[in-house]
A and B are shown apart, each in its own frame.
Chain A
C-alpha cells in the first residue's frame, strides 16, 4: 500500500534562518506531489505542485521554493524565513486526475 512520510513534525526556527522540509511517498511511482499551508483557522492553501521530476508549478508568490530531485521526493525550502511563514505545512500525493489526494501528517512550523 502507499504511504507518505513528512518530517519533521514540529520545527521552531528564528527569523532569517533557512528551511528544508522533506516529503517522500512509498508504494507508487510517478505521483503528483503537492505542498499546502494551513494558517491558523484557515483552509488549505496550495503552494506548489509537481507532475514529474524537476517539474514545479508555483501557485502563489512567496518566500518559499520547492524541488523534486527524485520521483517520490518533494522538498520545500526557504533561504530566509519570515514571521509570516509560520503555519502548518502539508505534503500530499495523488495518482492522477479524479483521484483523491492523500496527505502526510504535516509539519508545524513556528518562526520566532
Chain B
C-alpha cells in the first residue's frame, strides 16, 4: 500500500522557468515531509523539508508547500537550471523513524 504518491513520472521544463513537482499522501499521521534529488548511480541528496505545523518552507531556489487538508505537497524550483535535471523523490514520516517514499519524478531542464 503506497502511502506517498507522485503521479507524474516525468516533467520537462525550459531553463529559467519554474518547475513544479507534486506529491500526495494518504496517511494523516504524517507530520514531516522531505524532498530528495537523485542523479543516476548516486544516492539521493536531501533538498528541503517541512514540518506539518508549517505550510511553506523556502531555501534559495527551492520552496516546498504543504496543504494538510488536501494531503498534498509540492516543490517549486525557480528558476530551473540544467543541473536540476534529476529524479526527485517526495518522502514523509510520522512518529516513527521511517520514511515512506514516492516513486519519483524525472525532471528534464531544456536549454
List residues of A whose CB falls within 8 A of some B CB. 6, 32, 34, 42-44, 46, 49, 51, 59, 88, 90, 92, 94, 96-98, 100-106, 108
Given A43-B89, A44-B89, the answer on whether A103 and B99 have CB atoms closer than 8 Å is no
Cα-based distance from A103 to B42 in the complex (angstroms):
9
Contacts of B43 in A (CB 8 A): 6, 90, 92, 103-106
A106 touches B42 (CB 8 A): yes
Interface residues of B (CB under 8 A from A): 31-32, 34, 36, 41-46, 49, 51, 89, 93, 95, 97-104
Please, which residue of chain B has its CB at the minimum distance from the CB of A91? B43
B46, A42: Cβ atoms under 8 Å?
no
Shortest Cβ distance from residue B85 to the other chain A in the assembled complex, whole angstroms: 17
8 chain-A/chain-B pairs, Cβ below 8 angstroms: A42-B103, A44-B89, A49-B97, A101-B46, A103-B36, A103-B43, A105-B41, A106-B43
